Each structure stands twice: as structure tokens, then as C-alpha cells.
Amino acid sequence: MNILNNLFVTTLPLVPKSIVRRFANKYIAGDSLEDAVNVTKQLNDRGIMTTIDVLGEGVFSRQDAVNAKNECLEVLEAIDKNRLNANHSLKPTSLGLGIDYEFCLQNLTEIVKKANKLGQFVRIDMEDSPYTTRTLNLYEDVYKKYQNCGVVIQSYMRRSMDDVAELAKMKTNFRLCKGIYIEPVEIAYKGKQEVRDNYLKLLRLMFENNCYVGIATHDDYLIEGAYKMIAGLNKQKHEYEFQMLLGVRDKLRNKIVKDGHRMRIYVPFGVHWYKYSIRRFKENPNMAGYAFKALFTGGR
């Protein structure tokens, strides 16, 4: 079945978008900011925090980057207006990192400044390796003026240990994940267990440097390892949080919350849902299999 599901992933471009959307609805709040606000309210009512993200990345014009910046500002205003227990996450390439560094920095600074004024936090997402160094530079440049921001570290990147050692000196607020982009073996670990092992090593380094960490994973092995580390280092509830994706392993999410840990759910929205959904299916081929089956059953 796994072989078939992996085959389905490669054929997804042939599947009608209407069918992909039917299964994508599990992973996205909807097309509008209002949809993301409503989903966040529902999660907040269950004692769960969120981070709201406008889907979209890799813009190729300055106007598109400015439009993306304005959408981010609208998210911050909506969080404030609705008094949501939420922060905002964004991808630097959506703000023009692939066009011009200083231009992107200007856009990002405007967003973080607005968030600072509203008492909010902004997470700077990490993308694929051509942008790693520039993303970390963006974070450091913005942090000089505004400390209400943090960055993402990917445990499958071989450089991450050195990056964390340096960023920990700034008491960086980290989001730690495995990483989903396809990278060459020269710069990224490929084995499942070596990525896990590096994840826990990075988590320990972050904790030992008293950095706040968003433990972003759906992996039982890593969650168990994090539990043990939290207990062993006597970490308090306000020093970390667990993070998961909307629609992924809800039972496990609820268990973590029941165990008394803080939980934040990634809530994406927007018209650019297709690329994000395809990435989710590649991470979870079983879902691609369901979508492929729907192609021949009329979605029943």
C-alpha cells in the first residue's frame, strides 16, 4: 500500500484540483482571513494557541511582495481585533527575499514593528537551502530593533547545530522541525533516525541555553524524547510549547494538551492552497492515496 501511495503522489498533478481541494480542506482553514480567524477561535476555545499563515511563497515581482506584506499586516490587525491567542508566521520569499535582500528586510521590519506595537509575535519560517543563510541574516537584522520575532531550525540540515549554537547567544525563540524540502546529502541528513537524533540534540542545546522552543513534530519518538528531556531538565510550561499542523494527528494533539503542555496549531489560509496541499500529501502519502481513490469514486 505504501508503494501505491507513493506512486499516487507522483501522479497528483493529474488529479483534478477539485478533488485535491476536498482532501486539502483538512489542512487549511479556507481561502479567507475570516476562515483562519474562525478556526483559531475554535482552537482557542479548547485551550490551543495558533499561528496564522497566509499561503504563498516565492514571489517574482516587488508588487506581489508588497501585496504579501499587506496581507501579513491584515493578519496582525485581525488577531488584535478578535483578541486571538495567536501569532503570525511568514515565509521570507513571499516578501521578496528572492528579489532583493534589503527590500525584503524593509517589508519584514514593517511587519515585525507593527506586531511589536500590538504586543504580538512573528515567526520567520525557514525554506529550502538557497535561502537558509539569508533567512538567518534577516532574523538577526530585524532582532536588533525588535525582539518579538523568532526563526525556524530544521533538524535534517547538517549546519543546524552550528546555527543554533550561534543563535542561542541571542536567546533566540526557536521553532524546531525536521524539514520537508528535498536537499542533497552533502548538506542534509537523509536517514530517518539520524534526523531524529539530531532533532533531540538540537532541542537539548536550545533548552540548555534557556531558549524558548516550539517543539514542532508529529513523531511519537520525538514527542516521547521531548517529554523526557522536559522532565529531566525541569523545564517549566512557559519555557516551551508543542506545535502541530492543522488537521494532522488530532488525537495526539489532544493528548499533549491533556498532559498539561502548551500547544500551538499552524493555521494556513489563502488562495494559494494547492502548492501547500501537495507538499502535505508528499509528507503523508496515505492522504495522497485517498485523493487518488476519490478520482475513481467521484469523491464518495
Closest listed residue to residue 181, CA positions, set 135, 131, 127? 127
Q: At what angle do helices 192-208 and 220-232 cross, to 10 degrees?
A: 20
| Annotation says 175 is catalytic | yes
The answer to whether the CB of 283 falls within 8 A of the CB of 4 is no
| Annotation says 21 is catalytic | no
Q: Alpha-carbon distance 263 to 118, whole Å?
A: 22
Distances (CA, A) of 92 to 57, 99, 124, 127, 191: 8, 11, 7, 8, 28
Retrieve residue 113's grid coordinates. Answer: 514593528
Retrieve residue 230's grid coordinates. Answer: 522536559
The answer to whether the CB of 182 falls within 8 A of the CB of 173 is no
Q: At what angle do helices 17-24 and 273-283 cross, to 10 degrees?
A: 70
53, 125, 163, 262: the catalytic one is 125
Kindly provide the b/e burial profile for residues 42-53, where b requires at least 16 CB atoms within 10 angstroms of the residue's own CB: ebbeeebbbbbb
53, 123, 163, 175: the catalytic one is 175
Return the active site residues.
125, 175
